[in-house]
Structure 1
Amino acid sequence: MALETNWKRVALGLLLAGCGGPSTPVPGTQNPGEAPKVDVGAPPSLAWVGGDTAFDDRLTTLDLSRWRASDGWVSSEDFNAGWRADHVRLTEGTLHLTLDTESCPEGCGGRPYASGEFASQRYHGYGRYEVRLKPARAPGTMTAFALTTGPFENTRWDEVGMAFLGKNPQQLRLTYISEGKRHDAATIDLPFDASESFHIYGLEWTRAALHWYVDGRRVHSETGFNGPLPVTPGRIVMNFWPGVGPATESWLGVFEYPGAPLTSGIQNIRHGPATPTDILEGFEAGNTAELWSPGHVDDGARVNLWQTDYGHQGRAMAMEYSVKANAHGAAERTFPSPMDWRGVRYLNFWFRGTATGDPFRLELRDNGPSPDKIERFEYRFQDDFVGWKWVSVPMTAFKRRTDWQPAGAPNDGLTLSAVRGLAFEPLGGDGRSVLFDDIQLER
């Protein structure tokens, strides 16, 4: 299954690369415009929105359909502890990440300590996040909350998060990465010692901005002025660990085990999407072949479809194709009855390719007097990335096809009032294979 992929190699790079000091601007990364105006003290701007990916987990149990604990490995040379699943412990209504001297399965990579880390099964993108947290006070350690994805997930490297250094839990470190470029957002001085009691730390992530909150009050904002914002959904990751080595210790501090276990505590994690978002097709059910079919395949084209367990989030649809010049073939789905998509602003999906450069057409079939007289609209994209790419298509980007329309199809623009189907069509390539996963409608 895809959920057993290499996420375990997460190293929380955004919290490792020189977290102790300010970042150096990278030429060409700053966006034009004014620096963000931080409305300090403002309440969250996003309401809690429900949907397929929303949750409010009080952590009375560790829901293994939502989370999984790391076990028996080490993130990188900067970590002086290996992960043990039993170091993610529930006690009296609190989930503890415990750091101690117990040995790990297979020896913890030779590290002298063991600790706890857990991550979400799903990837989460734009939306509102909150964690009720009490980090440990211990020089040389870090307690971190992040949304992260990158080469270890076969995606581009995007992250956003917040962290406490155990040497000074009266400061909150905020930072993000976009396409592998790190940006230190801010270091926030808190009016309390975070290690002494639980507080709520929040994050809002939209296409326009990142906002961080402490106990429901805004403390910092980023709008892309200091570097492009992340765009790729990532896993929620929480961990607690000691650093090792001169480079890490220069900003984290030197860790000395106090003789008894240390813990960081979590009591609640909550998430809601930025706007109502529904999964149109997750490819999880066993009827993909019934819903999707090779459509309008003519001479000079071949399209084969099947369901695979190696999706980005569970199962996916695989497409093998060969398309010669002026030939056509597609993976298409026709809805049993027209769907009202008015109010939908984006159509999102995961696409896995091998950077062949092959062009694709995403076709939207909207409105018409009968199923065979539907107006066709298109959006074109390329296989330009090795691995998984999150594709977010504004509905305004769909253009009416000028190369072909069925006889009798209307010409009244994209109404989205009676969507009858969609199709993925390769426009070239010989003997290629790609994957599609989690098609979403974002309102």
Structure 2
Amino acid sequence: MRILYIVLILSLSMASQCCAQNQGQSLLLDDFEGPISGGPEGTVDFGAGNGSSVEVTAAQDIKYSGNQSLKAVYDAVSGGYMYMARGFGLDAKNTAWLVKPEDIDWSKYKAFTFFVFGSDSKTQVAFDIRDNGNEMWRFSFEDNFKGWKKIVCPFNMFFARDDWQPNNADNNLTLDFPIKVFQFEPRPQAQGTLYFDCVELE
């Protein structure tokens, strides 16, 4: 009995060390827990135009962790656009991450990561970020898998968008930290449903 007790204590200790190590390697920015809503008081700044459409809600049935994920039902038509954004300085008031950008030591991290529940739709999905100079940067991936997959977006693989930039962007072609916003955009032409969860820095 004494031996079993010692083994149990050692196992718990090793598990705690693994958890601590994982926490040291990554920083959770957003888990999409809590109410998901749009509009001026919303928790997600989302919209679409030029014929495209998107509806953003919480999904409790399909989630990677916690109680829910972010669900996007989209129809991306040729010439259209859409966005689903979280962060700071957006039109919606309650879109903040779990951590403020200025409180992050960005030099410790090399990539954004998140989990996507795909359907092998072959949809091209853009993951955009807005830097400290309001310049928009893009990383793209394809929904060529089924179920949950971790997407890794190294900082050095982002490129400055040449199709659109905010009016107040400095357009200096330098990724300036801290990053203030991230957003998802399924690209035309495509329609379907995607689920997102657990946005982190690694």
For this structure pair, what is the TM-score category when the shorter chain's length is used for normalisation? Answer: 0.7 to 0.9
Runs of 4+ in 1 over 3 A off after TM superposition: 90-95
Name the aligned partner's letter for residue 346 of structure 1.
A
Q: How far does the alpha carbon of each residue in 1:31-72 deviate from its partner, in whole angstroms, 9 at most, with x for none?
A: xxxxxxxxxxxxxxxxxxxxxxxxxxxxxxxxxxxxxxxxxx
Match of 1:339 among 98, 101, 108: 101
Given the two structures, how large is their TM-score scaled by the length of structure 1? Answer: 0.37
Q: How far apart are residue 428 of structure 1 and its match?
A: 2.1
Match of 2:83 among 330, 335, 350: 330
For structure 1, the 5+ residue unaligned runs are 1-89, 96-130, 133-265, 369-373
Counting only pairs closer than 5 Å after superposition, residues 147-296 of structure 1 correspond to structure 2 as: 266=11, 268-269=13-14, 270-271=17-18, 272-273=21-22, 275-284=24-33, 286-289=34-37, 290-295=42-47
Q: How far apart are residue 408 of structure 1 and its match?
A: 3.6
Q: How far does the alpha carbon of each residue in 1:369-421 deviate from its partner, in whole angstroms, 9 at most, with x for none?
A: xxxxx21100011101011111111111111011111234102310113x221
**Contact kept in structure 2, 1:291 and 1:334, CA below 8 Å:** no
Q: 1:383 to 1:91 in 2, by over 3 A?
A: same
Q: How far apart are residue 433 of structure 1 and its match?
A: 0.2
Counting only pairs closer than 5 Å after superposition, residues 344-359 of structure 1 correspond to structure 2 as: 344-359=109-124
Give me the identity figure in percent: 24
Q: How far apart are residue 307 of structure 1 and its match?
A: 0.8
Q: How far apart are residue 436 of structure 1 and its match?
A: 0.3
Q: Distance in 2 between matches of 1:304 and 1:267?
A: 43
SS in 2 for 1:312: coil
Does 1:394 pair with 2:154?
yes
Q: How far apart are residue 429 of structure 1 and its match?
A: 4.3
SS in 2 for 1:268: helix
Does 1:365 pair with 2:130?
yes
Counting only pairs closer than 5 Å after superposition, residues 115-154 of structure 1 correspond to structure 2 as: 132=10
Q: Distance in 1 between matches of 2:157 and 2:149?
A: 18
Q: Distance in 2 between matches of 1:359 and 1:388?
A: 16
**Contact kept in structure 1, 2:124 and 2:142, CA below 8 Å:** yes
Given the two structures, how large is their TM-score scaled by the length of structure 2? Answer: 0.78
For structure 2, the 5+ residue unaligned runs are 90-95
Q: How far apart are residue 360 of structure 1 and its match?
A: 1.0
Residues paired across the two proteins, number: 177
Instruction: Return the structure number with greater helix share.
Output: 2
Name the aligned partner's letter for residue 415 of structure 1.
D
- 1:300 aligned partner: 51
**Contact kept in structure 2, 1:329 and 1:425, CA below 8 Å:** yes
Q: How far does the alpha carbon of each residue in 1:263-287 deviate from its partner, in whole angstroms, 9 at most, with x for none?
A: xxx4632311285411111122x13
CA RMSD of aligned residues (A): 2.4
SS in 1 for 2:156: helix
Q: How far does the alpha carbon of each residue in 1:161-215 deviate from its partner, in whole angstroms, 9 at most, with x for none?
A: xxxxxxxxxxxxxxxxxxxxxxxxxxxxxxxxxxxxxxxxxxxxxxxxxxxxxxx
